[in-house]
Amino acid sequence: MLSDRRVFVNGEFIAWDQACIHMMSHSFSRGAAIFEVLSVHDTEDTGPCVFRLDAHVQRLFCSAAALDMVP
């Protein structure tokens, strides 16, 4: 269920239903935003692991560059 999910916002993990964007944010008012969705899996050997993290980070930086955003 979505209520069990957590998201990373402003440097911390919070409950899915507590995540929000201020209506005066540039992302909301102008539509300028980037995001990348990561899939985290628990492993028996090393604990939590992000699938293809390097590829996700590269796409995020490429998207930021396309919008002239500084990462």
Domain ranges of the chain: 36-71
Band (pLDDT 50/70/90 cuts) for residue 58 is very high
pTM of the model: 0.55
In this predicted model, which residue has the larger pLDDT, 43 or 25? 43
| Pairwise pLDDT comparison (21 vs 52), residue with the higher score | 52
- pLDDT for residue 2: 58
Asked if the model's pLDDT at residue 37 lies above 90, the reply is no
To which residue do tokens 């492993």 refer? 43
Query: 27 vs 33, which has greater pLDDT?
Result: 33
Three-class SS state of 47: strand
Distance of CA 12 to the CA centre of its chain: 11
